[in-house]
Structure 1
Amino acid sequence: MAHAEKRGWDKRAGKFRYRGRYKLPDGTWGSVSRDDQGQPFYRARDAEGYAHGLEVDVRRKTFINPRDGRITVAEWSELWIESVELANRSDGTYRQRLRSVILPEWGSVAMGDVTEVAVKTWEKKLRARYSANYVKSAMSVMRTMFDDAVSSKVRGDNPVPTRAARRRGRFKGKGPKDETVIASPRQALLLARNAYELRGLAGYVLIVTIAYCGLRINEATGLRREHLALVDEGTGCRLLVQEQSQRVNGKPAQVDPKYGSTGNLILAPFHAELMRRLLASHDSEWVFPATRGGKLDTGAWFYTNWWRPIVDGRRVAARFASRPATLPALRAVAGVEGIVPHGLRHSMKVWLDEAGHPRVAVEERMRHVIPGVEGTYSHTTPAMEKRIAETLQSLWEDSLKPVVDRREYEPPRTPRNTRNQVDLPEISQRSGSATIPAQATTPSAGRVHSS
């Protein structure tokens, strides 16, 4: 039965200290000398009452041993990270957030001593130093780690507040409902034309493929020739999403798509023809090869020197000893400032929703899983897929029509890093764009005219 025992004399408080004794689940005796706030017991009845409460928890099978909470955050994180089953990129992200921001602050702190107020104070400091997305990611990792600590009975509660629990302090509005930048079919074409100027036919078709198949960027760069079925056997030409390009331990590798979302996507006729001509233009195993035929890397270099000029244009071109000729100047595409490759995936979803296609067919093309009963009983038919291909063909053909009632281009936007750049003459803002050679267009659509 729970009881109290007198301990030593506390000189600072001028009182005797007490500890509570109680029966552990295995029948041995445990002891506790501090309450939940870390304060010592100076009265026997306080120690006995606390110990009695722990025995009640033992009988109810909700007992959490206070000694378990003395494990440090660093020690627990080592045990925890090895128990979490994550994809390669997520595993790297979790470890990076632990190493960079979580353990430097909390590593030496006991798990049981981490309080919600201290976590909120720390989060506020992070928001002053890092981007909102980075802070959100770090807090998500820490929240998950403490969730598992609660389920493992290392402590009784999670001190990392959820979004719903943050209703405290200065009111913060919800902000924009949707911050994702999407493109119209016409804007996707203009981006593809800029990509053609920068990287030729491979760049042109890469943009078209992301937009009209809704691929993630690493799924597109991970496409091999064997993933294309360009002979129509009655169900349309197909693109198979089987893997994606990713770095594993710092080296390029092919891994499963995100969430294992493989797929078999029908291609619109124009798109199938573009794919045939692209494959005929090179002998690389990769559908969208790098300049020298290898796998296209989508690291920081890709976004700085490849993607941003396509979207924001470029007045200048870097000069290299091995490349005396300057790269072509590009105009910025109006209305899509800040768009990322994934925004083109979002764009295709919007186009198909606007066209009124069944949800199940659209979500299957996006390789999403519809939850609940709807997902169990809804199915995509070949007829639904063919109608999607017809819609995409129509959108493509409409995007080729010249536009005269609005300006589609803007002067090149100022790049984030302007070092070692030399001004070139202003790029004309007259309506016009480089003409894509006939071999880069489908016969049904005709030549891609200047707009």
Structure 2
Amino acid sequence: MAYAEPRGKDKRGKMRWRGRHKLPNGKYGSVSKDENGQPFYTERAAEQYAQGLEVDARRKTFINPQDGRITIAAWSELWLASLEVDHLSDRTIRSRLRAVILPEWGETAVADLTAIGYTTWEKKLRAEGRATNSIRGIRSTFRAMLTDAVASKVIGSNPIPEGKSRRRGKYQPKKSADDEKVFASPRQALYVARNALTLRGFTMYVLVLTSFNTGLRIGELAGLRWDDLILDHTEYSGARILLRHQSQYVDGKPTLIPPKYDSGRSLIIPEFLAQLLRELRDFYPPPAPGKPAVPWVFRAPKGGRILTGGDFYADTWRPIVDGRAPIPSSRGHRARPGIEPVLGVEGMTPHGLRHGHRVALDEAGHPRVAIEERMGHELPGVEGTYSHTTITMERKIAETLQSDWEKSMRPDISQRGYGPVPTREDSPGS
């Protein structure tokens, strides 16, 4: 039977009490704080709380308060060991824990984390300028970890609110102008490709146009090999890219892993892009005698695969989109021309080409199932069960992309940079 016993006085001289209660195994346990982490300052409060725990034990809903004393850092180790996710998700989860969650909450007992405490911390993250998507990801990881703590009966409920139910106070619009994704139109994609030609040569020119006309992510482009391409004898089904891998860093090394969400797929491409890829294949020098052929479609200047780490974004991508001042000649280095920014897409990331691809297909009115399959997504519900992509749908997508390309090549006096399409002979060879 539950009872209370004195614990001693706190720093203010107030007497504290603990409750003693029978555990499901017949032994006695003790509890010195309620579910909100508040000590018991009266004998009656401690006894009533202990009685409630005994009721929970009889109803088989008992959660031992002592289990909730495990720290968030210790629980995160147990939780990570139980996860079964792909490499990218595992890396993202560990990064959020290591860099953001554990420095703040690692030494806190799981049972001591409250909704108010978490919400106040999230408000602090926003005040520090952390991006909305970053905060959303941190919340998702933290909540998932504590959801499993609830399922394991470490705590009774999850203190981290769901995304849709957490808003309180003054109204916040769902999306502001700053949240808009920057994406390219077909003509802007052409201008980005021409800047890429000037800066990095024919390879980067074709990579940009491949990204915009397929919607492939930069890691998927970096992992493309020549045996993933079908460029010849394609009268029936069209020239295609068979997406089988993506290139990502695993333990600091570029490694081929399955595509995101295991979304391997076959992508029909327009004829102009197929021709550019054929030219790129001929552009590379043949392998040296006794050396194996290089498998990568898109190569770095020294011949290996394109590396898409931090240097790629800072040294290659940003000047391609945002422009660069001319670089004068110096000892051992030739002068380099300036690069004009592409108007309207300042600050765009490579993912903006993927967004632009989706927008172009939406504007053309293609079936949703064909677009989602091309983007590597699955349609939910009944629509996904009964909708299917056909060869006719795919061919019409290729026709749209070909038409958009031809339109983007027409002179437009309101825009800079129109003219004949560059070829591999125009490449600086870098």
**TM superposition score normalised by structure 2:** 0.89
**One-letter amino acid of the counterpart of residue 169, structure 2:** G
CA distance, structure 2, for counterparts of residue 319 and residue 95 of structure 1: 45
Supply the distance in 1 between the matched residues of 2:426 and 2:386 (Cα, whole angstroms). 41
Over residues 130-167 of structure 1, what are the superposed CA-to-partner deviations in whole Å (9 max), with x where a residue is unaligned?
42143333333222222221222211222223333333
Structure 1 segment 398-417 matched on structure 2, within 5 A: 398-404=407-413, 406=414, 408-409=415-416
Q: Which residue of 2 aligns with 1:391?
A: 400
SS of the residue aligned with 1:93? helix
| Segment drifting more, 48-57 vs 351-360 | 48-57
Contact persistence 1:202–1:289 (CA under 8 A): yes
Matches within 5 A, 1:253-268: 253-268=255-270
In the aligned structure 2, how far is the partner of 1:384 from the partner of 1:334? 33
Question: What is the distance in 2 between the residues matched to 1:137 and 1:331?
Answer: 35
Cα distance in 2 for residues equivalent to 1:228 and 1:360: 23
Which AA in structure 1 matches 2:112?
D
- The residue aligned with 2:320 is 310
Partner of 1:91: 90
Distance 1:137 1:17, change over 3 A: closer
Task: Give runs of aligned pairs for residues 70-109 of structure 1, distance below 5 A.
Answer: 70-109=69-108
Tell me which residue corresponds to 2:238.
Answer: 236
Deviation at 1:22, TM superposition (A): 2.9
Residue 304 of structure 1 aligns to a residue whose secondary structure is helix
- Encode CA deviations 1:286-339: one digit per residue, 9 max, x unaligned: 1010001101111111111211111111113386765x1122211111111121
Pick closer, same or farther for the CA change 1:440–1:377 going to 2, 3 Å.
farther
Residue 289 (structure 2) pairs with residue 291 (structure 1): no
Assess if the C-alpha contact under 8 Å between 2:242 and 2:266 holds in 1: yes
Query: Which residue identity is paired with 2:244?
Result: Q
What is the rounded CA distance, in whole Å, between the counterparts of 1:102 and 1:219 in structure 2? 30
1:357 matched to 2:366:
yes
> Which whole-Å CA distance do the structure 1 matches of 2:254 and 2:331 have between them?
28
Corresponding residue for 1:437?
Answer: 423
- In the TM superposition, 1:17-416 aligns within 5 A as 18-132=17-131, 133-176=133-176, 179-231=180-232, 232=234, 234-282=236-284, 283=286, 284-317=294-327, 322=332, 324-404=333-413, 406=414, 408-409=415-416
Change beyond 3 A, Cα 1:304–1:434: farther
Query: Residues 350-399 of structure 1, C-alpha deviation per residue, up to 9 Å, x if partnerless?
Result: 11111111111111111110011111111111111111111111111111
- Percent of residue pairs identical: 53
State the 1:261 CA deviation. 0.9
Whether the 8 Å CA contact 2:279–2:424 is kept in 1: the answer is no
Q: Are residues 229 and 318 of structure 1, via their aligned partners in 2, closer, same or farther at CA, if it must alter by over 3 Å?
A: farther
CA distance in 1, matches of 2:279, 2:97: 47
Cα 1:237–1:40 shift into 2, 3 Å: closer
**8 Å CA contact retained: 1:3, 1:51:** yes
Cα offset, 1:435, TM superposition: 5.9
Contact 1:277 1:440 in 2 (8 A): no
Aligned counterparts of 1:366 and 1:41: Cα–Cα separation in 2: 57
Q: Give the structure 2 partner of residue 412 of structure 1.
A: none
In structure 2, the gaps of 5 or more residues are 287-293
Distance 1:43-1:124 versus aligned 2 partners, 3 A rule: closer
Verify the 8 A CA contact 1:227 1:241 in the aligned structure 2. Answer: yes
**Matches of 2:181 and 2:10 in 1, distance apart?**
63
Instruction: Give the partner amino acid of 1:226.
Output: D
Q: Distance in 1 between matches of 2:33 and 2:218?
A: 55
Q: Counterpart of 1:164 in 2: which secondary structure?
A: coil
Mapped contact 1:193–1:433 kept (Cα < 8 A): no
Map Cα deviations across residues 159-186 of structure 1 (whole Å, 9 max, x no partner): 2233333332343333327611121111
Over residues 60-116 of structure 1, what are the superposed CA-to-partner deviations in whole Å (9 max), with x where a residue is unaligned?
332211001111111111111222223223222222222222222211111111122
Alpha-carbon shift at residue 192 of structure 1 (Å): 0.9
For 2:10 and 2:319, how far apart are their aligned partners in 1? 71
Q: 8 Å contact 1:197–1:434 — kept in the other structure?
A: no
Asked if structure 2 preserves the Cα contact closer than 8 Å seen for 1:274 and 1:440, the reply is: no
Q: Which deviations, in whole Å up to 9, do the C-alpha atoms of 1:207-244 show, x marking residues without a partner? A: 11000011001101110111001121521111011001
Instruction: Tell me, in whole angstroms, the C-alpha distance in 2 between the residues paired with 1:337 and 1:37.
Output: 49
Aligned Cα root-mean-square deviation (Å)? 2.4
> Shift in Å at residue 257 of structure 1?
0.8
Q: Which AA in structure 1 matches 2:109?
A: A
- Deviation, 1:436, is 1.2
How many angstroms apart in 2 are the aligned matches of 1:265 and 1:344?
16
Partners of 1:26 and 1:276 in 2: CA distance: 73
Of 241-250 and 138-147, more deviation after overlay is shown by: 138-147
How many residues are paired up?
A: 416
Give the corresponding residue for 2:291.
Answer: none
Q: Using the alignment, how far apart are the partners of 1:384 and 1:434 within structure 2?
A: 30
**Per the alignment, in what secondary structure is the counterpart of residue 337 of structure 2?**
coil
Alignment partners' CA distance in 2, 1:389 and 1:340: 24
Structure-1-length-normalised TM-score: 0.85
